[in-house]
Structure 1
Amino acid sequence: MLATSVSDPALPPGHAAEPKWDGWRALLSRDAHRLILRSRRGTNLEPCFPELRASAAQLPDATALDGELVVWDAAGRLAFERLQGRLQRRGADALRLAEQWPAHFVAFDLLRLSGSDTTRWSYSRRRAALENLFTDHRLTAPWVLCPSTTDPATVREWLTNWTAVGLEGVVYKRLEGKYEPSVRGWRKYKARETEDAIVGAFTGSPAAPRTLLLGRYNTDGRLHYVGRSTTLPQTAGRAVAGLLTPAGDDHPWRGWTFSAGWGSRESLHVALVEPELVVEVSVDVARDGAGRWRHAASWHRARPDLSPADVPVVEPGAAG
């Protein structure tokens, strides 16, 4: 089942809210004592996550769950980048990664219970059965029960405090709603925040840049790449062009290769500029371990009134 994005964070009447995790959506079932784990696109993930296979006996047979695969780092923050590369790992490599950065399956919906199809049940009934499943079978890590609430104050707390550890937002589900595959019957709200960053390069025409590559300085003075903007409106691109200065030979990013997107092997053709212009962008809370924004930043406005020294710094040692 899918969700439609909404701009209002308020909990709608007749709905429950669940945290939106920064991980991989996955469907899991245990049938004839065999674990089946697949991505939304149908990719077989079971060989990549031996830590789940080793704990599958905790689950009752003929049971299916919808949920999110996540990894927490040592600081207790969701570490999406630790999931990267798992699709290419099998055997000993997968075992090594499972031991170093164990994944958890955060279950948020129940699709089948001991052979009974539950998708036609209301969300309230499915949720109660899911909670009983965790209680009755005393499920422990790597199995995690996703929180659920009908309390608006709890939703506000999640959006205020939990985003610091990588929570992306919240998902709203109608209490009387059935589970309908491929139907966008849920709502999702992504937490966003406004940030300042320094333009270090751009793609597209010098007369009207298409996207901006953004950075912040480390406290040790190194310009750290933090992410790329979405496509600029034409008027914004033309306005920004007049505020950019082509880079000299000493640009800190000279010789770097930039990826076209998260997990993409395609490289961008970029033009370096002097890191002087500050811009304001809107970003969600998804970060990698080096502090980079995992999703494109939405253009807000140029800030020629600010200097790079006015932009918050990132911690020393962050990757460039």
Structure 2
Amino acid sequence: MRIDPPVVPMAAQALARLPAPGAVPGGMVFEPKYDGYRLLVFAHGGDVFLQSRNLRDLTGAFPEIADAAAALGEDVVLDGEVVIHTCGRLDFSALQHRLNRRPATTARLAVEQPAHFIAFDLLEHAGVDMLTWPYVERRAALESLFQGHDLHAPWQLTPTTEDRALAEQWLTEWGGLGVEGVVAKGAQQPYLAGRRGWFKIRSRDTAEAVVGAVTGPVTRPNALLLGRYTRGGRLRLVARSAPLPLALRDEIGPLLTPAGPGHPWWGMRLTVTWGSREPLSFTCVAPELVVEFLGDTAVDSGRWRHSVRAQRTRTDLTPEDISTLD
């Protein structure tokens, strides 16, 4: 048997906190959730193919990973995350710089900022299809593969634990290193390709920002566009909120004032979601109200990649009280 691409990877459904003990029959195993690109590595007979979560071919984007997979000399299919380390933390923007580059540029970047593949699952080894194996058996086979080949960079084996307290510690202490949170997996689960059979819990921190625009009516906004000032005095968009709770819509609306062409974001073009082409309709407001929000650790140059959750207004603060951006 042989597993060929494309394979839709097994995914995780989001939870606000770690699942309760006993939520998954057979027990749970916890792993860190990394701020990188999901990557499946197919190595068969010396041929290598690197597949993204969205089934894209990333072989040319990460030649150091492809070369390492070819050098294994084994037929394997691995699931994991490709990451790049910068100044002691994971650097998502450096990964983005690898996409759609000329081979010469990619080769240079692979030397200047080498990528690492953090393996967390083994789907095939030496012609044996492991998709139906329990997670703990696949994990044991993955550890054996690493030990048998004495694998080192660019290979990394993700740590795991069954200790809930340690998983909680990862959530609170590893965010600054570029670890987004924790994934909880059923110890006896098979690999359910294309299904959300795992759980993901993101690390979250509170922060403050200025409301610079809203979607929906200003008097009762649906969501907020949040900004912070640069040291040069420019208001820069740093986050978008998820839909506001009804009570917060009622509270925020009376505190907002519509703004006209003099607003720094007047005429700015945004899309509804990252990577889409559908324009976002929004209304600029006077950048006077400060709100506190809850966001995850996926922050690039001061900007939150994922939507944040507005928690409360901070009428005790002014825009001048908020940290500035470089």
| Superposition TM-score, scaled by structure 1 size | 0.87
What is the distance in 2 between the residues matched to 1:10 and 1:204? 35
Runs of 5+ in structure 1 lacking a partner? none
Return the alpha-carbon distance in structure 2 between the equivalents of residues 247 and 102 of structure 1. Answer: 46
Does residue 19 of the first structure (1) align with residue 32 of the second (2)?
yes
Single out whichever of 209-218 and 132-141 deviates more from structure 2: 209-218
Using the alignment, how far apart are the partners of 2:318 and 2:186 within structure 1?
47
Distance across 1 between alignment mates of 2:19 and 2:196: 19
Asked whether the equivalents of residues 84 and 94 of structure 2 are also in contact (C-alpha less than 8 Å), the reply is yes
Aligned residues of 1:30 and 1:64 also touching (Cα < 8 A): yes
After the TM superposition, which residues 150-161 of structure 1 pair with which residues of structure 2 at under 5 Å, given as runs? 150-161=162-173
Residue-by-residue CA offset, 1:180-233 (whole Å, 9 max, x unaligned): 212332222112223221111223333433321111234564433211112335
Matched residue, 1:59 = 72
How far apart in 1 are the matches of 2:20 and 2:113?
A: 34
Q: 1:204–1:211: 8 Å Cα contact kept in structure 2?
A: yes
Within 5 Å, give how 1:218-257 maps onto structure 2.
218=230, 221-233=233-245, 236-247=248-259, 251-254=263-266, 256-257=268-269
> Hey, what's the Cα distance between the residues in 2 that align with 1:32 and 1:309?
61
C-alpha distance in structure 2 between counterparts of 1:258 and 1:190, whole Å: 26
Q: Which position in structure 2 is the counterpart of 1:131?
A: 143
Say which SS state the counterpart of residue 121 (structure 1) adopts: coil
Which of 205, 222, 229 is the matching residue for 1:193?
Answer: 205
Residue in structure 2 matched with residue 306 of structure 1 by the alignment: 317
Deviates more, 1:256-265 or 1:42-51: 256-265
1:150 is paired with a residue whose SS is coil
1:3 aligned partner, one-letter code: A
Structure 2 residue aligned with 1:296? 307
8 A Cα contact 1:84 1:263, kept in partner: no
Cα shift readout 1:50-101 (whole Å, capped 9, x = no counterpart): 121222234242111011122222x222221222254422422322332333
Distance 1:11 1:91, change over 3 A: farther
Matched, 1:6 2:15: yes
One-letter amino acid of the structure 1 residue matched with residue 28 of structure 2: H
Distance 2:127 2:248 in 1: 56
- CA contact 2:75–2:124 (8 Å) conserved in 1: yes
Q: SS of 1:279's equivalent?
A: strand
Q: CA RMSD in A?
A: 2.4
Contiguous gaps of at least 5 residues in structure 2: 1-9
Other-structure match for 2:56: 43
Inter-partner Cα distance in structure 1 for 2:218 and 2:170: 42
1:109, CA displacement in angstroms? 0.4
Once the two structures are TM-superposed, the CA of residue 178 in structure 1 deviates from its matched residue by 1.7
Determine helix, strand or coil for the equivalent of 1:247.
coil
Give the Cα separation in 1 of the matches to 2:261 and 2:280: 20
Of the candidates 107, 122, 125, which is equivalent to residue 113 of structure 1?
Answer: 125
Report the identity percentage.
47
Residue 121 of structure 1: how far off its partner (Å): 2.0
Distance 1:254 1:98, change over 3 A: farther
- Mapped to 2, the partners of 1:314 and 1:35 lie a distance apart of 46
Q: Deviations over 1:107-151 (max 9, x none)?
A: 100101121112222222211111121121122222111111122
Q: Find the aligned partners of 1:278 and 1:259 in 2 and give their Cα distance.
A: 24
CA distance in structure 1 between the aligned counterparts of 2:113 and 2:170, rounded to whole angstroms: 25
- Separation of aligned partners in 2, 1:99 and 1:273: 46
Q: Secondary structure at the match of 2:176?
A: helix
The whole-number CA distance in structure 2 between the counterparts of 1:257 and 1:4 is 31
Q: Which residue does the alignment assign to 2:6?
A: none
Q: Deviation at 1:306?
A: 2.7
Report the Cα distance in structure 2 between the residues aligned to 1:294 and 1:50, rounded to whole angstroms. Answer: 26
